[in-house]
A and B are shown apart, each in its own frame.
Chain A
Amino acid sequence: MTPVIDVTDATFSYGETVAVDDVSLRVDPGEFLGLIGPNGSGKTTLLHLMLGLSEPDSGTVSLFGEPAHEFTAGERIGYVGQRAADRGDAMPVTVRETVLMGRFAHAGRARLTDRDREIAAEAMRTVDVDGLADRRVSALSGGQRQRAFIARALASEADVLALDEPTVGIDANSRDRFYDLLDELNAGGMTIVLIEHDIGVLTKHVDTVACINVELYHHGDTVSFLESDALADAYGRSSGIIEHDHP
């Protein structure tokens, strides 16, 4: 089975600073991987390497069996960034227009077809934003907005969904609902790579945890991660875990 993402000994530096050092990991189809680490630990850089947005200085990254930065089938990848990453606050774009963007990689320069619009409508129904289709994105709550971006990824008929701290600044209820949605999608076969800083949330939903601080401290299932010292090693001895009991 070809892994969706295969990172082998990847190293990447910004000038003098090493952001990712000799990291190897694999993401299999249908896996739900969580990436965790302190600020500045290279999580986002690693994700960008995985998605082929940048090329490693050494080592290899393959995406669906091809070198990631040469991968051209952009419609197979869905991406949801942090809440502030898009221009939705100022730009008068509707939810429907946003979700339809997921079809652009398929359509290229051609007109969008009825089929495209049906797929977008179905995607909006799946994440339950169809009632908001003609609202401006700026008029949504944070949770709704991020769900709309998932709809965009679904409209793209993506095989892998990459999320970079998608629930920053979003209230707890919306966040739970968001992750329940991710669980559903994963149960349906979607491969998911999630960067998340909230360990409790992460461990509740993902299959595998990769703990990174420039180097990879742990890559394995959630249980073994919690039992290991990886977190302490990655974050430094002075850190600790505060337990939240979410109902």
Chain B
Amino acid sequence: MSEEHDHDGGHSHDHGDSHDRDDVRDDGHDNGDGHGDGHDNGDDRGRDDVRGTDRTTDGGSGDGIAGDGGDVTAAAAGADVDAFETPGGGRSLREIVELVGVGLVAALAVGMLAFLALDWLRDAPGATGALAGSWFAGFLVLGEWADFYLGTNVFRHPFVWRAAATGVLIGIVGPIVGAFLVHRQMALIGETLAHTAFAGVAFGMLFIAFGAGLAGGAVAAFGSGGTLLLVALVVSAASAIGLQWLVDRTDSYGDVPIAIVLTGSFAVGTLVISWSREFVAIAIDIEDFLFGSLAIVTATGARLVAVLTVVVVALVVYNYKQFLFITFDERAAHVARLNVDRYNALLIVMTATVVVGAMQILGVILVAGLLVIPVAAASQVARSFRETLYLSVLVGQLAVLGGLAVSIGASLPPGGSIIVIAIGAYLAAVVVSDRDASLSMH
């Protein structure tokens, strides 16, 4: 057996800083006998987690991965060798970097949400509309300066901002939801819901063509693109419930019925779209839905993503403990009387909404990648589940921002660009991590 000297002293991630929204502080202490405080796994208000810092000593020598041949020995108390510990005590460099990263992402998200809110409010009557309009124009001026420095003609246009805002936000919610899916063989569910969303787009076209007054009202309110997206949302959410029911009956997530729903919904979608093209005068390029496109992000689509980001993050923060327990050990959670069915249903409906929102940028075919790959990358190096969540958000954001830059700069599809960068991050994580790459996450 190999001896592995444990440098990091072990970290549980319970960080003390709060952002404006939260006023709770929780500083964990190492109380000297080798035991620090545990996690703050409780509910947190607002978008950001309340974090308290925690450092535990994990005694001197410990083995690495132990097989079943014996126990890993770790003396309980011992000198703590933490190469990264800052003189002030408390956080390691690693934790600080992660904190800063997540903070920046949160700030960026808030900025994007503000932009989308202004985009919506500037049509409001009176002083509100005027004020919102002027601030909105301020954002566009920032874009003009960006164009000036970069020599581009891109950032001055609202649609680019909307697409970027959508990207930033799905780069957050995709990994967050994915973290709870991936470990339960539910990545396939994400893919399946994307395909049902595609069928939903197809039905949306039928709806617009034949839905008379109701359809007319929807198109007037949301635009034709927006209407398609909303119908896709309804179809996808309904499919999610149906899928959960199916899974409960077959007791498996990767089974044949799911493969049938996946391929079947896509098949129906292609047929309906081809047929309805003759009746519906919509300038919809199906390729845009399949592969993603910046231009296809409508105002409605972006607002949908804004709303779902806030709702999903709130739900995850509020139900973090329940989601964690059910994902990790469903039977034990059931014994402890957590309502497993309800949380599974909630998770799968959240997945459906995230998939529909993300479909605009990533396309139906690649959207599941944003749920899975950042989480896979984070799992390689993370030392706890909480750290996995933070890191997967960071990787997701890196992939989206990088992918958008490549897409805009080189005129390539955004979906492919984002996923390629995400995979690059995953491979880098595999190289960096000191444990075997686990390609199977079952």
Residues of chain A contacted by B387 (CB below 8 angstroms): 92
Contact between B379 and A134 (Cβ–Cβ < 8 Å)? no
Query: Is the C-beta of B92 less than 8 angstroms from some C-beta in chain A?
Result: no
A154 to B38, CA, bound (A): 16
Mark out the residues of chain A between 150 and 176 whose CB falls within 8 Å of any chain B CB in the assembled complex. Answer: 152, 156, 162, 169-171, 173-174
Contact A105 B66 (CB under 8 A): no
Nearest B-chain residue to A155, judged by Cβ = B38
The contact of A109 among B40, B43, B59, B70, by CB within 8 Å, is B43
Min Cβ gap A122→B in Å is 9
Q: How far does the Cβ of A77 sit from chain B's closest Cβ, in whole Å?
A: 5
Shortest CB-to-CB span from A107 to chain B, Å, is 7
Q: Determine, out of A3-11, A112-120, A214-222, A235-243, the stretch whose residues face the partner at the interface.
A: A112-120
Residue B275 lies at the interface, judged by CB distance under 8 Å to chain A? no
Instruction: Provide the residues of chain B in CB contact with A40, threshold 8 Å.
Output: none
> Cβ of B327: which chain A residues have Cβ within 8 Å of it?
87, 91
Q: Does A140 contact B (CB under 8 A)?
A: yes
B183 CB contact (under 8 Å) in A71, A90, A98: A90
Q: Could you tell me the distance in whole angstroms from the C-beta of B372 to the nearest C-beta in chain A?
A: 12
Q: Is the CB of B10 within 8 A of A135?
A: yes
**B contact residues, total (Cβ < 8 Å):** 64
8 Å CB interface, B403-442 against A? 435, 438, 440-442
Known: A87-B328, A130-B76. A104 touches B385 (CB 8 A): no
> B18 in the interface, Cβ–Cβ < 8 Å?
no
Q: Are A92 and B335 in contact (CB under 8 A)?
A: no
Contact yes or no, A156 B41, CB < 8 A: no
Contacts of A143 in B (CB 8 A): 68, 71
Q: Do A139 and B72 have beta carbons less than 8 Å apart?
A: yes
Give residues of chain B (18-70) contacting chain A, Cβ–Cβ below 8 Å: 24, 34-35, 37-44, 50, 56, 58-59, 62, 64-70
A199 at the interface (CB under 8 A from B): no
Number of interface residues of A (CB under 8 A): 62
Residue of A whose beta carbon sits closest to that of B35 = A121
Report A-chain residues with C-beta under 8 Å of the C-beta of B69.
Answer: 141, 171
Q: Using an 8 Å CB-CB cutoff, how does the interface string of A81-124 with B read, 1 for contact, 0 for none? A: 10001111011111011111100110101111010110011000
What separation, in Å, do the CA atoms of A174 and B24 have in the docked complex? 42
Residues of A within 8 A of B322 (CB): 104
B-side contacts of A72, CB under 8 Å: 337
Assess the A85–B338 pair: CB atoms within 8 A. no
Q: Is B324 among interface residues, defined by CB-CB distance under 8 A? A: yes
Q: Is the CB of B66 within 8 A of A141?
A: yes
Name B43's closest neighbour in chain A (CB-CB).
Answer: A109
* B12 close to chain A: CB less than 8 A: yes
Asked if A1 CB lies within 8 Å of chain B CBs, one says no
Q: Are B440 and A90 in contact (CB under 8 A)?
A: yes
Please measure, in the bound complex, the distance between the C-alpha atom of A174 and the C-alpha atom of B72, giving whole angstroms: 11
Chain A residues near B74: list those with CB within 8 A. 131-132, 135
Report yes or no: B328 in contact with A74, Cβ–Cβ below 8 A: no
Q: Is the Cβ of A112 less than 8 Å from the Cβ of B329?
A: no
Question: Contact string, A56-85, partner B, CB cutoff 8 A, digits 1/0?
Answer: 000000000000000111110101110001
Indicate which residue in B318, B332, B386 contacts A97 across the interface (CB closer than 8 Å).
B386
8 Å CB contact of B65 from A53, A94, A139, A142? A139
Q: Mark B62-106, 1 if CB is under 8 A from A, else 0.
A: 101111111110111000000000000000000000000000000
- Asked whether, in the complex, the Cβ of B39 is within 8 Å of the Cβ of A100, the reply is yes
Partner of A141, one of B10, B39, B68: B68
A104: chain B residues at CB < 8 Å are 41, 321-322, 325, 336, 338
Task: From known contacts A100-B38, A105-B336, A134-B56, infer whether A90 and B66 are also in contact, taking CB-CB under 8 Å.
Answer: no
Inter-chain contact A74/B335, CB cutoff 8 Å: yes
Smallest CB-CB separation from A74: which chain B residue? B337
Q: Point out the residues of chain B lying under 8 angstroms from A169, CB to CB.
A: 68
Query: CB distance B37 to A114 under 8 Å?
Result: yes
**Is B263 interfacial (CB 8 A cutoff)?**
no
Is the CB–CB distance between B41 and A100 below 8 Å?
yes
Asked whether A75 lies within 8 Å of B385 as measured between CB atoms, the reply is no
Chain B positions within 8 Å of A109 at CB level: 43, 318-319, 321
Using Cβ atoms and an 8 Å threshold, which residues of chain B touch A162?
A: 335
Asked whether, in the complex, the Cβ of B328 is within 8 Å of the Cβ of A91, the reply is yes
Within the assembled complex, what's the spacing in Å between the Cα atoms of A130 and B31? 14
Answer yes or no: B277 CB below 8 A from chain A CBs.
Answer: no
Q: How far is the CB of B388 from chain A (nearest CB, A)?
A: 5
- Assembly CA distance A186 to B37 (angstroms): 28
Tell whether, in the assembled complex, residue B40 and residue A141 are in contact, meaning their CB atoms are under 8 Å apart: no
Q: Could you write out 9 A-B pairs with CB less than 8 Å apart?
A: A77-B336, A92-B388, A97-B386, A104-B321, A111-B24, A121-B38, A133-B12, A134-B56, A144-B66
Interface residues of A (CB under 8 A from B): 51, 53, 71-75, 77, 79-81, 85-88, 90-94, 96-101, 104-105, 107, 109-112, 114, 116-117, 120-121, 125, 130-136, 138-144, 149, 152, 156, 162, 169-171, 173-174
